[in-house]
A and B are shown apart, each in its own frame.
Chain A
Amino acid sequence: MNDQVNKGVENFLMLLALLILAWLLWSGIYKLLLLGLGAFSCLLCFYIAYRIGFFKRASGLRLIPSLPKYWFALLIDIIKSSIDVAKIVLNPKLPISPVVVEIDAMSKGSIGHAILGNAITLSPGTVTLDVHNGRLRVHCLTRKSADELLAGEINRRTSLLTHD
C-alpha cells in the first residue's frame, strides 16, 4: 500500500517536471498569461492522467534517464539496417527472402514489450506483426535480418533498459 503511494508520488513529480519543462521550452515567451495557461493545461493533463490510472502503476517515466544510451544503440542499428535494405531495393535482382519468426521478449511487463516491438519495427527490415503474452511475431525482409533478430541483441538491450 505504502509502496503504491510512493509510486504515485514519484509518477506525479516526474510528470510535473516533464510538463513544466515542455511548456517553458515550447513558446519561449514568459508572460503571466502564458504561464497561467501553462498551469491550467498541466492541471488538465493531470486530470486525464488520473482518469487513465497513470498514478496507480509504475510508469515508463522512470526510464527517461537511461533512454539516451538505448536510443544511441538503436540509432546505430537503424543506420546499419537502412543501408542493408537500401542495397536490397536498388539491387536489380531484388534479393529478398521474407521470413516470419517468433521471439519471446526477455523484459517483463507491457512497457518493455511495447518498447521492444516498436524498436524492432523502427529498424528497417523487420516489422512486428503481433504481440501476445510477451511473444512477438516479426516479419523479416531477409534471412540475415531474421538471424540478427534471433541473436537477441535488441531483446537483451531492452530488458536491460527496463530492469535496472
Chain B
Amino acid sequence: MLLDILSWILLCLGGGFVLVGGIGALRMPNFYTRMHAASLTDSTGSILIVVGVMCQAGLSLATIKLLTILIFLLLTGPTATYALANAALLSGMKPQADTDEGRSSS
C-alpha cells in the first residue's frame, strides 16, 4: 500500500518532468538551449519513472533488470547528447552565448 503510493508519486513526478522537458524543448530559443531542456527528460524523467516501476515490481529479478536498464540509459544518454552537441559544434554552429575565457578556471 505504502509502496503503491510511493510508486504513484514517483511515476507522476517523472511524467511531470518529461512534460516540462517537452515544453522546454519547444520554448527555448536555439539548438543548444533546447538540448538542456531535453536532458531534463533524459535524466530526471527516466530516473523517476524507472524507480517508480521498480517499486511496483518489488523484490524480484525484474527489479535488478530495471536497475540495469536505468544504468544503461544513464550511461548511454549523455554519450548520445555529447555526440549531438559535438557534431553541431564541429559543423560550425556557434553557441549563441558570451564565451568568457577570463572566467574559466584552471
Contacts and interface: CB of A to CB of B under 8 A. Distances in A.
A99 B39 contact: no
A98 B82 contact: no
B39 A124 contact: yes
A127 B95 CA distance: 12
B103 A101 contact: yes
Interface in B38-77: 39-40, 42-44, 47, 61, 64-65, 68, 74-75, 77
Interface in A85-105: 85-86, 88-90, 94, 96, 98-104
Interface in B1-53: 17, 20-21, 23-24, 27-29, 32-33, 35-37, 39-40, 42-44, 47
A129 interface: yes
A123 B43 contact: yes
Contacts of A22: 68
A99 to B, nearest CB: 5
Interface residues of B, number: 44
B79 A118 contact: yes
Contact of B39 (A121, A129, A146, A152): A121
B104 A103 contact: yes
Interface stretch (A7-15, A51-59, A75-83): A75-83
A85 B36 contact: yes
A98 B32 contact: yes
Nearest to A99: B97
A91 B85 CA distance: 25
Contacts of A99: 97-100
A112 interface: no
Contact of B43 (A82, A88, A139): A82
A141 B36 contact: yes
Interface of B: 17, 20-21, 23-24, 27-29, 32-33, 35-37, 39-40, 42-44, 47, 61, 64-65, 68, 74-75, 77-79, 81-82, 85-86, 89, 95-101, 103-106
17 contacts: A85-B36, A85-B37, A96-B28, A99-B98, A100-B97, A101-B103, A102-B101, A104-B106, A121-B78, A121-B82, A124-B36, A124-B40, A128-B85, A129-B85, A129-B95, A137-B89, A139-B95
The 5 closest A-B pairs by CB, nearest first: A89-B24, A121-B78, A98-B97, A82-B44, A118-B78
Given A28-B61, A128-B85, 10 more contacts: A89-B28, A89-B37, A98-B96, A99-B98, A99-B99, A100-B95, A104-B105, A117-B82, A124-B43, A127-B82
